Amino acid sequence: MSDILSQKEIDALLSSVSEEEGKSTVEKLTEEIEEKPANIYDFKHPNRVSKDQLRTLQTIHESFAKTFNAYLAVRLRTIVDINLISVDQLQYSEFILSISDPSCIYIFRVEELNGVAILEISPQLVLFVVDRLFGGKGGSGEEPRTITSIEQTVMKKIIEKALENLSTAWQQVAPLTFILEGFESNPDVVQIAPPGETVITVSLEIKIQDTSSLMNICFPYLILEDIISKLNVQHFISTTKKEASEEEINILTERLKMTQLPVVSYLGKTSLTVKDIFNLEKYDVIVTDKKVNDLIEISIGGNNKFLGKPGFKGKKKAVKIIREIREEDLTNI
């Protein structure tokens, strides 16, 4: 007996299925397909890094921004504001096209991963920083130009410190060491990855006084491939250090020392009626609660801290600190 069905038997099986049942099955499948949302997939820009991993990268570089912000503010002795703008993945050729020419491109080696990456900033920012370090106000009226060898040398220490801070931020995921290897001003000659290779780009905005510039960091995906599995929230949280390092404490302490506080000395106080205030005229004398030889309060940041004597230093009025305020003094203040 043959196991192969004859044409007559096949026709008999097909006819056993009613036309209505066939239609209902097709309609049901169509409805199920329509209910499922379609996701757009760009074959030119494949997502090799998940959203969860990008969020971890964002947290790492937010930490870097805070640390480098504190260092740069102390170094330049002015207010600095560094904020993370974006963390993205794109082709290396697209990243290179986004860089202006001339630019300041610092190539650094990732020691443990045997690869290189890029830190890029604008010449205007370099000129501003160099001017501040040489004692200037940081005015950047110059047109974009290739920075000189002297300016490169001055800026090298700042970039090395930035890489050190970046390495510290990455310790939360993997112990990476970043070593500065070279400098280029022309983006077209920098080839750290094939043009079509995926790279991870980090963009930060640096605001100093009235100037604003971008800092871009570019990691080829190939060099991060070995540690990409560690870029997840669970691993990041479990390895995040709880206490600030000694270096971070020192930087914040130095920045705190630069904070300006108002210092006020009070010659005396009294109370007047509204009627007396309305009748005040030029040359009227207001009697306060202080005698001529009494010490006066000196307030720092809104808190009474010292007692002192008013007087003159040269042609300017001054107050001499005599002693700290004691508990018994508080009842009389």
My answer on whether 273 and 250 are in the same domain is no
Tell whether 39 is covered by a domain: no
Rounded to an integer, the average pLDDT of 300-304 is 81
**pLDDT confidence of residue 18:** 53
Rounded to an integer, the average pLDDT of 259-264 is 81
* CA–CA gap between residue 35 and residue 218 (Å, rounded): 40
Question: What's 319's domain CATH number?
Answer: 2.30.330.10
Domain boundary among 237, 257, 277: 257
Domain boundary among 204, 232, 257: 257
**Domains held by the chain: number:** 2
My answer on whether 85 and 164 are in the same domain is yes
* CA–CA gap between residue 321 and residue 176 (Å, rounded): 52
Q: What is the domain extent for residue 201?
A: 51-257
My answer on whether 139 and 171 are in the same domain is yes
Task: Determine which helix (DSSP H) or strand (DSSP E) holds 92, and give its type and residue range.
Answer: helix 92-97
Please give the backbone phi and psi of residue 142, each rounded to the nearest 5 degrees, phi first: -75, 150
Tell whether 190 is covered by a domain: yes
One-letter amino acid identity for 202?
A: V
Q: Where are the alpha helices (DSSP H) in 148-231?
A: 149-170, 221-224
CB atoms inside a 10 Å sphere around CB 37: 5
In the numeric block, the tokens 């099986």 are attached to: 13
Tell whether 248 is covered by a domain: yes
My answer on whether 278 and 250 are in the same domain is no
Q: What are the pLDDT digits (tens) for 126-141?
A: 999 998 888 787 665 5
Tell whether 4 is covered by a domain: no
**pLDDT beyond 80 at 114:** yes
The model scores a pTM over 0.85:
no
* Spatial contact of 56 and 232, defined as CB atoms under 8 Å apart: yes
Q: Give strand pairing partners of 116.
A: 109
Q: Are strands 211-220 and 198-208 parallel, antiparallel or unpaired?
A: antiparallel
My answer on whether 177 and 285 are in the same domain is no
Q: Copy the structure tokens of residue 325.
A: 């305020």
Considering only the C-alpha atoms of the chain, give the largest distance between any 2 of them, rounded to a whole number of Å. 132
Q: What are the pLDDT digits (tens) for 48-62?
A: 788 888 888 999 999
* Spatial contact of 84 and 78, defined as CB atoms under 8 Å apart: no
Question: What's 188's domain CATH number?
Answer: 3.40.1550.10
Please give the backbone phi and psi of residue 104, each rounded to the nearest 5 degrees, phi first: -120, 100
My answer on whether 154 and 226 are in the same domain is yes
**pLDDT confidence of residue 86:** 93
* CA–CA gap between residue 24 and residue 41 (Å, rounded): 31
My answer on whether 224 and 277 are in the same domain is no
The contacts of residue 110 (CB under 8 Å, 6+ apart) are 116, 117, 176, 177, 178, 219, 223
Rounded to an integer, the average pLDDT of 305-329 is 87
My answer on whether 84 and 132 are in the same domain is yes
Q: What are the pLDDT digits (tens) for 49-108?
A: 888 888 889 999 999 999 999 899 888 888 889 999 999 999 999 999 999 989 999 999
Q: What are the pLDDT digits (tens) for 5-20?
A: 777 777 776 666 555 5
